[in-house]
Amino acid sequence: MFRASRKKIEWYLTRNLARPLDDDRTSIQLTFEPKGNGHVKEDERYYLEDKQNICGCGGDKRLTSHHIVPYHYRKYMPPEIKSHSSHDIVLLCVKCHDEYEHHATAVKKLLAEKYDIPLDGRGLVTHPETRKLHSAINALKFSQTNHKIPPARVAELEAFVRTALAVPEECAEIPPEMMEEALTRPQWTRGDDFVEHGEVVVGAMSKAELETFIYFWRAHFLEHLKPMFLSETWRVDNPIRNI
C-alpha cells in the first residue's frame, strides 16, 4: 500500500494495476510488484511519494515553490545538505507564502542581531548623490501632473537635475529619457568586502548547529503555517543529508 494523489490512484485503478482497499478509493494495493521501492526506510518514504500540487491550506491556485530553510541560508550550506533540498521545498499559494514570510522575517531579524550582520549584508557602498538625484527627478515628474509644488521649487529642482545630468543648454526641457536612465542608476552597490547575511550566519555554525538550524526552520514552518495538507511522510526530523 502507498499514498498517492487522487489522480494517480484513479490512474492505477482504471488500468487494473491496483485494487481499492476502502470504499472511497483513497487507499489502493498495487496488483504488481513495483520496481525500485524495496527496502524503503520510514524516514525516506517522503522522497518516493507522488507529490500533489496543492498548498498546505488546500489551495491549488497561483502556487509558488517555498524554501522552508530560506534560500539565502541554504545556498551557503555544504553541498551534501544543499543538494538535498527537495524535502524542504514545498508549494504554497501566494496568501500562505506572504503570511509565513512575515514570521520568517521576524526570525531573520533575530539572527541579524545574534550574528551581528544586517539582513542586507555588510559592505554596501551607498551613493547619496544618486539618491538625491532620484528624489529630485521623482519630485519633478510629480510636479508635471500635480501643481502643489511651488514654481520656485520646481525651478530649483530643474536646475539641479540639469546640472547633474549635464543637459545641453539647447534643450528647452530635460529629455525624459535622460531622467529615466538616471533613475536606473543604483543608490547603493556592493563594495569589495561585501558579505551577505546568510554567508555570515551559516559560516558561523558548526555542522551540528547547521542540523539544528534546519530542524528549527522545519518546526517553525509547521508551527506558523499549520498546513492541513502536507504529506504524512514529511517530518521535521527527516534526513537533511543525501540519502
Q: DSSP assignment of 176-223, as one string?
A: HHHHHHHHTS-SEEEEEEEE-HHHHHHHT--HHHHHHHHHHHHHHHHH
Minimum gap (Å) between residue 120 Cβ and Zn ion:
29
Asked whether the beta carbons of 12 and 21 are under 8 A apart, the reply is: no
Our finding on whether 57 is near Zn ion (CB under 5 A) is yes
CA angle at 181 for the pair 176 and 183, rounded to the nearest 5°:
95
Span near Zn ion by CB under 5 A; candidates 18-26, 55-63, 122-130, 187-195: 55-63
The rounded Cα 71 to chain-centroid distance in angstroms is 7
- Between 59 and 121, whose beta carbon lies closer to Zn ion? 59
Span near Zn ion by CB under 5 A; candidates 54-62, 151-159, 181-189, 206-214: 54-62
Our finding on whether 136 is near Zn ion (CB under 5 A) is no
Span near Zn ion by CB under 5 A; candidates 13-21, 49-57, 162-170, 186-194: 49-57
Taking CB under 5 A as the rule, which mask of x and - marks residues 59-78 in contact with Zn ion? Answer: x-------------------
Our finding on whether 230 is near Zn ion (CB under 5 A) is no
**DSSP 8-state class, residue 94:** H
Our finding on whether 225 is near Zn ion (CB under 5 A) is no
Residues 6+ apart with CB under 8 A from 19: 13, 28, 29, 31
Minimum gap (Å) between residue 91 Cβ and Zn ion:
9
Minimum gap (Å) between residue 144 Cβ and Zn ion:
42
How many angstroms separate the most distant Cα atoms in the chain?
85
Taking CB under 5 A as the rule, which mask of x and - marks residues 76-115 in contact with Zn ion? Answer: -----------------x--x-------------------
Asked whether the beta carbons of 20 and 13 are under 8 A apart, the reply is: yes
Residue numbers at the binding site for Zn ion (CB under 5 A): 55, 57, 59, 93, 96
